[in-house]
Amino acid sequence: MTAMAIDTLVWISGASSGIGAALAAAVPLPGAHVVDISRSGGSNAEHLPADLADPSSWAAVEAHVRARVGAFEGRRAVFFHCAGVIDPIGPAGAVDPGAYRRNVLVNAAAPQALGQAFLSAVAGLDLESHLILLSSGAATTVYEGWSAYGAGKAAVEQWVRTVGAEQRRLARGCRVLAVAPGVVDTAMQERVRSADPDAFPAVGKFHDQYAADALRSPEEVARDLWSLLDRDFDSGAVVDLRRLAA
């Protein structure tokens, strides 16, 4: 496929597994070119190696996005930020400091840095652009043992509200959304269910959801995420996928 045939550029952080991999596997857009931003790769998309706990990787992602968008002759650019980590699970004062810092970088800092890079790259261009960042119910619900994860998701939601308001002022602003997908059957959920109750007192809730077959599949979530490109949400909205109209 030549550059002239590409209608949509898509970046997906964390496309090597879980929801990100499901997004990359089920692109509903003809003429889309997908880039997987992750450490290991694994999808059929073009792989851009990046460890999002390493701030130097953010600049590399920004350079890649700028170069691609600058030479792009299609009509739409989309960035899904799905990358995230749950570990370490446990009281903030008791877990490994290095792992805690990694959690903060991946869940709180990287979404803002990569989001800002995408907004800067598409600013002023005659493109339809969408920036969609995954959030969680943990952004507003207290889960002991998830201090960094919950704070990171809360940061994502407030960042989206703020930059969404900024983008609404522009004639050709990017649509920016934060999306809580619900409880999804991924490796992260397996890790949650394996947690020690002393480190994560709410673990029983997640065992109960699994036993009740209440988890959503990554494929179902990916379908709903792709549908957001055509749904009428204002930039800055925080969306709960479970409440989408059928």
Domain-by-domain residue ranges, the chain?
A: 3-183+218-243
Q: Please state the pTM of the whole predicted model.
A: 0.95
Q: What is the Cα–Cα distance from 168 to 148, expressed in whole angstroms?
A: 30
Structure tokens at 190: 């397996």
Does position 114 have pLDDT exceeding 90, yes or no? yes
With the C-alpha atoms ordered 12, 14, 183, 111, is the resulting torsion angle positive or negative? negative
**Contact yes or no for 85/99 (Cβ under 8 A):** no
CATH number of 3-183+218-243: 3.40.50.720
Q: What is the pLDDT of residue 2?
A: 43
How much of the chain, in percent, has pLDDT values that exceed 90?
91
Does position 119 have pLDDT exceeding 60, yes or no? yes
Q: What is the Cα–Cα distance from 41 to 19, expressed in whole angstroms?
A: 14
**Average of pLDDT values for 32-53?**
91
Q: What is the pLDDT of residue 5?
A: 76
Give the residue with greater pLDDT, 246 vs 86.
86
**Contact yes or no for 53/100 (Cβ under 8 A):** no
